[in-house]
């Protein structure tokens, strides 16, 4: 199996319709089983991809200097660049906080400064709980052709 979805689907291009659908169902089923297993075995609050992104941002935040302006607005200085973080709106002047829906490095610096749990500022859709819900969907098998009736045989 390849890691590229398009290549995986292209491998089945020459199959007749019913075997093609069954191939796609089996392929997605294998992906779901693998991803569900990874999610169940995760010991983090977030899915692996988002936890990695978050930890990368944490690493970048270590040398930043935070200056409060108000209880929600903070100035963050990093290597001569100044960014503004507004916790109430979950925004930063770098725009990553809003776009990724995860604390950017500047937001991380502010969260550490205020001793706030970072999970409150991550999208709920990145949590392991929601990740596992994604893979709860049943993927039904394609019925055998001889049990499908005449309408499906006309596609041959």
Per-residue pLDDT of the chain (156 residues; tens, 9 = 90+): 456 777 766 766 676 777 778 888 888 888 888 888 877 777 788 888 888 999 999 999 999 999 999 988 999 999 999 999 999 999 999 999 999 999 999 999 999 999 999 999 999 988 888 888 887 777 777 666 666 555 554 444
CA distance readout (Å), 73 to 22, 42, 85, 94: 54, 34, 6, 14
CA distance readout (Å), 29 to 39, 43, 110, 137: 15, 24, 42, 10
Of 78, 57, 80, 76, give the one whose Cα is nearest residue 68.
76
Q: What is the pTM of this model?
A: 0.68
């Amino acid at each position: 199996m390849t890691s590229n979805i398009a290549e995986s689907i292209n491998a089945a291009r020459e199959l007749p319709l019913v075997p093609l659908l069954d191939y796609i169902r089996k392929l997605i089923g294998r992906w779901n089983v693998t991803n569900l297993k990874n999610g169940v075995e995760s010991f983090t609050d977030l899915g692996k991809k988002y936890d990695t992104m978050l930890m990368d941002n944490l690493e970048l935040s270590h040398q930043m200097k935070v200056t409060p302006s108000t209880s929600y607005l903070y100035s963050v200085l990093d290597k001569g660049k100044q960014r503004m973080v507004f916790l109430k709106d979950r925004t930063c002047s770098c725009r990553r906080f809003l776009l990724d829906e995860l604390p950017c490095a500047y937001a991380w610096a502010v969260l550490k400064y205020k001793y706030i749990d970072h999970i409150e500022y991550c999208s709920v859709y990145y949590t392991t709980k929601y990740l596992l819900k994604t893979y709860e969907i049943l993927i039904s098998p394609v019925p055998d052709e001889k049990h499908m009736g005449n309408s499906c045989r006309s596609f041959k």
